[in-house]
């Protein structure tokens, strides 16, 4: 992957030898989507069965490798939804989520899911205070449930709750307890408390005593879920857990669209995700979850294709037909947007905003008229506390030009 291409322009420093020589990057990172389980755990979200099916099919079309389609123990609706997703025969591996309980494994088996994500608290303090268990009870449950799942031929990702707040000594004990039975181990920054530097160190340290593939599951309580996912890959993780739009418990999870784009463009690490499906996937989950995407949201927010500031608008019109990535990190079309940049008229606008909009309307005016129109645009924008709509601008022009409007 290059730092410059027709559809993107990122920093060349991402690719200089001194930056990359110490990185042990995989050729590819597997994308594990948990929108239908951890994403739905965001307070206030409730997906219906057919909605889960629609999202799962869209995720599969986008190319994610794993779809964590729900926790069958939550409700009959979740059980049936998971079963329906499994029956679709998707290319992605569909997984159930379970606690370390045989009855949860039995429920997963009844859905015909080929595997599951099995959780266990992996910090001694959480086992004691949150679960009220003894350490021996926790370790015994995890070993028994994992053995039971493997005996029934299930693919198992061992999900270590709160691993990033565990002592390394205790965490090593948790790992030794389950041995080589798991297919992969998920390092869960359950409360989003890692810095990226610590995450890279943590993953490298765990790799010293875990031979199974490592995966990262990051939460966004400090706004670092994506950064921590990237750092984990640098440390040796080969799969990242994500949700569409970053929905999830508390402050959410690592956003699928941000994580994938950062891996591909900033690290040059491939995923199987089709970048041009990201925007439509985001809009689908936004609609079905009822959670609006903030306009400044990276990759899929509305402001990625809107500009108001006069100097930026001037830049845009200077480069848009020559080299548009000169003022964009990547073109909107890279992530599947169907629209180009939209120029707004508001408080921060300059003459170019007005001149180009008038050209679109087929109106030629004198320089002094441009100044009058711009002054009125700024005034009305402040009054309304927003940019003007196209109809409001047209009405403004009619008022300013009077009989000269045509």
Domains of the chain, residue spans: 4-289, 302-404
Whether 64 contacts 56, CB under 8 Å: no
Inform me whether the pLDDT recorded for 211 exceeds 90: yes
Q: Return the closest-CA partner of residue 133 out of 143, 152, 148, 120.
A: 120
252 or 100: whose pLDDT is higher?
A: 252
Whether 147 contacts 181, CB under 8 Å: yes
* Total count of residues recorded for the chain: 406
Return mean pLDDT, the chain. Answer: 95
Dihedral sign for Cα 163, 165, 168, 169, please.
negative
Residue 351 burial (CB < 10 Å; 0-12/13-18/19+)?
middle
CA dist 181 and 140 (Å) reads: 14
pLDDT band at 179 (very low <50, low <70, confident <90, very high): confident
Please tell me the predicted confidence (pLDDT) of residue 365.
87
Inform me whether the pLDDT recorded for 405 exceeds 80: no
Q: Return the closest-CA partner of residue 227 out of 248, 188, 206, 199.
A: 199
Please tell me the predicted confidence (pLDDT) of residue 181.
85
Please tell me the predicted confidence (pLDDT) of residue 340.
80
For the segment 324-383, what is each residue's pLDDT rounded down to a tens digit? Answer: 999 999 999 999 999 888 999 999 999 999 999 999 999 888 889 999 999 999 999 999
Residues facing 185 on adjacent strands: 158, 214
Average pLDDT over every residue of 170-197: 93
Please tell me the predicted confidence (pLDDT) of residue 406.
59
CA dist 282 and 304 (Å) reads: 14
Worst-scoring range by mean pLDDT, 137-146, 200-209, 397-406? 397-406
pLDDT band at 21 (very low <50, low <70, confident <90, very high): confident
Whole-model pTM: value is: 0.95
Whether 240 contacts 227, CB under 8 Å: no
CATH, domain 4-289, list 3.40.50.10490, 2.40.50.140, 3.20.20.70, 3.30.160.100: 3.20.20.70
CA dist 358 and 360 (Å) reads: 5
Q: Tokens 């196209």 appear where?
A: 390
Whether 352 contacts 310, CB under 8 Å: yes
For the segment 102-128, what is each residue's pLDDT rounded down to a tens digit? Answer: 999 999 999 999 999 999 889 999 999
Structure tokens at 112: 């015909």
């Amino acid at each position: 992957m290059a730092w410059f291409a027709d559809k993107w322009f990122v920093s060349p420093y991402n690719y200089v030898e001194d930056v990359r020589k110490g990185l042990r990057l995989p050729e590819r990172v597997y994308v594990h989507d948990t929108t239908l389980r951890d994403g739905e755990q965001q307070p206030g979200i409730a997906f219906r069965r057919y909605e889960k099916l629609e999202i799962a099919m869209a995720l599969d079309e986008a190319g994610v490798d794993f779809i964590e389609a729900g926790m069958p123990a939550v409700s009959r609706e979740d059980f049936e939804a998971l079963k329906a997703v499994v029956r679709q025969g998707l290319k992605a591996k569909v997984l159930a989520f379970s606690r370390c309980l045989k009855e949860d494994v039995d429920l997963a088996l009844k859905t015909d899911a080929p595997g599951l994500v099995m959780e266990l608290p992996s910090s001694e303090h959480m086992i004691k205070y949150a679960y009220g268990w003894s350490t021996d009870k926790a370790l015994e449950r995890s070993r028994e449930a994992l053995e039971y799942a493997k005996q029934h031929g299930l693919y198992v990702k061992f999900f270590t709750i709160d691993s990033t707040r565990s002592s390394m000594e205790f965490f090593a004990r948790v790992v030794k307890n389950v041995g080589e039975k798991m297919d992969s181990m998920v390092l869960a920054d359950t409360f989003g408390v890692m810095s990226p530097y610590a995450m890279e160190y943590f993953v490298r340290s765990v790799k010293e005593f875990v031979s199974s593939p490592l995966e990262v599951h990051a939460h966004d309580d400090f706004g670092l879920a994506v950064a921590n996912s990237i750092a984990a890959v640098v440390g040796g993780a080969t799969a990242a857990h994500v949700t569409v739009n970053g929905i999830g418990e508390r402050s959410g999870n690592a956003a699928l669209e941000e994580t994938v784009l950062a891996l591909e463009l900033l690290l040059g690490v491939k995923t199987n995700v089709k970048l041009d499906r990201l925007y439509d996937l985001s809009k689908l989950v936004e609609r079905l979850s009822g959670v609006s995407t903030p306009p400044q949201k990276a990759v899929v927010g509305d402001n990625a294709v809107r500009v108001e500031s006069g100097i930026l608008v001037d830049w845009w019109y200077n480069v848009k037909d020559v080299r548009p990535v000169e003022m964009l990190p990547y073109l909107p079309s890279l992530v599947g947007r169907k629209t180009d940049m939209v120029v707004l008229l508001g408080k921060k606008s300059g003459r170019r905003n007005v001149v180009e909009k008038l050209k679109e309307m087929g109106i030629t005016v004198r320089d002094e008229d441009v100044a009058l129109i711009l002054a009125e645009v700024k005034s009305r924008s402040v009054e309304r506390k927003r940019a003007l709509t196209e109809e409001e601008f047209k009405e403004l022009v009619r008022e300013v030009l009077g009989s000269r409007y045509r």
